Chain A
Amino acid sequence: SSELTQDPAVSVALGQTVRITCQGDSLRSYSATWYQQKPGQAPVFVIYGKNHRPSGIPDRFSGSSSGNTASLTITGAQAEDEADYYCHSRDSSGYRLVFGGGTKLTVL
């Protein structure tokens, strides 16, 4: 079992806002990084350090954190945002890394 918990699936209407969450005790101490993975492709990081976007990631992607929960928000979801999203951080020891179970985002 993962030390980071995500909802298995979330859906959003085209153009609307969706929040994907990740819960874990280690998130009280460490920031989550978020990855987008489309079928047959390697993951791509979209948010790191709570709310930093790598170059090339649209500004509709944002991150936030409160207590033991990190969130990825997509404001104005597009059809191309349909993908699996994974959070990633350290485990409770701080020395090892863990991924959340992933959230499948469907854009309706």
Chain B
Amino acid sequence: QVQLQESGPGLVKPSQTLSLTCTVSGGSISSGSYYWSWIRQPAGKGLEWIGRIYPSGSTNYNPSLQSRVTISVDTSKNQLSLKLSSVTAADTAVYFCARGLVGSTWRGDAFDIWGQGTMVTVSS
């Protein structure tokens, strides 16, 4: 059974770079059937998609974050990573990694497995 676990600093200073890792266990991050995403949720607010990476290495990002975001994969460690630069208090949120799939018999996407999330606070 595939499981995801986020990790990284819980506190980041303004203007610095937020770096998180998501470790995939029980399956290969290189599986061609899935892609991998980061999603965040400020306290008391809704979900915001940050971006995704396909097994090929190609990426898509939320236009509102694109200039600051990098998502990458380390297949040797079975890990997904997120880097978000020039952070401000507005980036304070719970960050989730999730496994995504593209419908085969239907047009759309679904996140079928999520990590538990990790809280990141941006503060000096």
* A-B complex is real: yes
Chain A contact residues, CB within 8 Å of chain B: 2, 29-33, 35, 37, 41-45, 48-50, 52, 54, 86, 88-90, 95-102
CB proximity to A under 8 Å, residues B85-124: 96, 100, 103, 105-112, 114-117
Q: Nearest Cβ distance between residue B98 and chain A, in whole angstroms? A: 8
Q: A86-B47, A99-B47 are in contact. Are A30 and B115 (CB under 8 A)?
A: no
| Residue from B105, B109, B117 within 8 A of A33 (CB atoms) | B109
18 A-B contact pairs sorted by A residue (CB < 8 Å) = A31-B106, A31-B107, A33-B108, A33-B109, A35-B111, A42-B96, A43-B96, A48-B110, A48-B112, A49-B103, A49-B108, A49-B110, A90-B109, A96-B60, A96-B61, A96-B62, A101-B46, A102-B47
Can you name the residue of chain A whose Cβ is closest to the Cβ of B100?
Answer: A97
The 7 A-B residue pairs whose C-beta atoms are closest, nearest first, are A49-B106, A31-B108, A42-B114, A48-B110, A99-B47, A33-B110, A102-B46
With A43-B47, A97-B109 already in contact, 12 other A-B pairs whose C-beta atoms are closer than 8 Å = A31-B108, A33-B109, A42-B116, A43-B114, A45-B111, A49-B106, A86-B46, A96-B49, A97-B49, A97-B52, A97-B100, A100-B46
- B117 pairs with A42, CB closer than 8 A: yes
Residues in chain B near residue A35, CB distance under 8 A:
47, 111
Does residue B32 face the partner (Cβ distance < 8 Å to A)? Answer: no
Question: Which residues does chain A contribute within 8 Å of B110, judged by CB atoms?
Answer: 33, 45, 48-49, 88
Docked pose: A47 CA to B117 CA in angstroms: 21
Residue numbers in A under 8 Å from B47 (CB-CB): 35, 37, 43, 86, 88, 99, 102
Which chain B residues border A99 with CB–CB below 8 Å? 39, 46-49
Measured CB to CB, the closest approach of chain B to A79, in angstroms, equals: 22
